[in-house]
């Protein structure tokens, strides 16, 4: 077994799980802020939706680890899953933006700076968008790396 491929695969799996946890936390925070304390069967609706987003996000990346079996239907299902994952990624982008904005607005330390238009532009407009973009691009690059080497990560032959 190639230990380099094994450790790289383990690291990418850890990053994937960390992103799923991040998606849940950010989505839960933003949706609780937007939806309030709506409940279904004693569970907050925001948490149900956040779990659904995290699972869809994880399912999208997990599909890349499964080798293609050559069935034409599996390609169609993979495309549907990719589209669902992209919609999920865009929703998480918006929820990340909203979460950062809410956190910035809740900080009482920023109260004197709100009247300054330059700081207002950077702190309340550019910072949330930039953080959401970085998270989105990191996710895309992580998943692109897995899509290029996903099924081979744990089965690479050692180099000569």
* Digit-coded pLDDT (tens) for 19-64: 888 888 888 888 888 888 887 888 888 888 888 888 887 777 777 6
89-123 burial string, b = 16+ CB within 10 Å, else e? bebbbebbbbbbbbeeeeeeeeeeeeeeeeeeeeb
pLDDT higher at 130 or 6: 130
pLDDT higher at 134 or 123: 134
Q: Say how far apart CA 24 and CA 46 lie, in whole Å.
A: 10
Cβ-based neighbours of 159, under 8 Å, separated by 6 or more: 2
pLDDT higher at 94 or 65: 94
**137-156 average pLDDT score:** 70
pLDDT value at position 4?
A: 67
pLDDT value at position 66?
A: 65
Burial (CB < 10 A; 0-12, 13-18, 19+), residue 50, is buried
**73-98 average pLDDT score:** 82
First to last CA, the chain: 13
pLDDT value at position 157?
A: 56
């Amino acid at each position: 077994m190639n230990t380099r491929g094994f450790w790289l695969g383990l690291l990418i799996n850890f990053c994937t799980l960390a992103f799923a946890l991040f998606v849940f936390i950010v989505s839960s925070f933003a949706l609780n802020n937007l939806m309030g304390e709506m409940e279904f069967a004693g569970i907050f609706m925001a948490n149900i939706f956040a779990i659904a987003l995290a699972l869809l996000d994880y399912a999208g990346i997990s599909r890349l680890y499964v080798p293609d079996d050559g069935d034409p239907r599996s390609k169609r299902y993979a495309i549907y899953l990719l589209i669902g994952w992209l919609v999920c990624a865009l929703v998480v982008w918006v929820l990340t933006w909203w979460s950062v904005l809410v956190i910035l607005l809740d900080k009482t330390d920023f109260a004197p700076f709100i009247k300054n238009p330059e700081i207002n532009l950077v702190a309340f407009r550019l910072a949330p968008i930039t953080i959401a973009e970085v998270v989105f691009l990191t996710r895309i690059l992580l998943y692109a790396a897995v899509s290029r080497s996903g099924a081979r990560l744990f089965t690479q032959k050692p180099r000569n």
